[in-house]
Structure 1
Amino acid sequence: MNKAAYALKLPQSLKTAAQRLAREDGVSLNLWITVALAEKVGAVETAADFFKRRAGGANPADILSILDKVGNEPPHPGDEMPGQ
């Protein structure tokens, strides 16, 4: 595995919390941050893959024909945008 160095600047409060959690897990701060980053990358890539599969062959332009059918009627009660 190739390794790359990256100088990471964290807010002190976040570093302190990460150090505490790493200590509780019995690992170094470096390993704890690496695992946390790997978990986040995995979650984001999994979600992106899910939505890509879910969209299938959908064409974003197709939504326009659906929206054209809606018309200009006001939203049903409870479907309003917050603050409106």
Structure 2
Amino acid sequence: MTALTIRLPNSLHAKIRELAARDDISVNQFIASAAGEKLASILTVDYLRQEAAQGRRQDFDRFLQAVPDVPDEADRT
């Protein structure tokens, strides 16, 4: 495990302390969890961009044509 010193505005630190206490976890756990969530979201966007770059418009159009043309649920009522 690595130790890291960060500087936070007092107001942000106070809010993190409050939310960590509410979840009955340490400030350390709260910040580690927040960093993990941010990392996961960035990696997901990167993955989706890579996948999209490999896609072909003609394949998308072919699959889209296979979707039945039916009215929305809201239009049926």
CA RMSD of aligned residues (A): 1.5
CA–CA separation in structure 2 for the residues paired with 1:7 and 1:40:
19
Q: Where in structure 1 do 4 or more consecutive aligned residues deviate above 2 Å? A: none
Q: Which structure carries more helix by proportion?
A: 2
Residues 21-58 of structure 1 deviation map (CA, whole Å, 9 limit, x = unaligned): 00000000000100011010001101111111111179
Percent identity (aligned): 30
Q: Give me the TM-score of the superposition, normalised by structure 2.
A: 0.68
TM-score (norm 1): 0.62
Deviations 1:8-27 (A, max 9, x none): 11111111111110000000
For residues 31 and 5 of structure 2, the distance between their equivalents in structure 1, rounded to whole angstroms, comes to 12
How far apart, in 2, do the equivalents of 1:46 and 1:31 lie?
Answer: 22
Q: 1:54 is matched with which residue?
A: 52
After the TM superposition, which residues 1-84 of structure 1 pair with which residues of structure 2 at under 5 Å, given as runs? Answer: 3-56=1-54
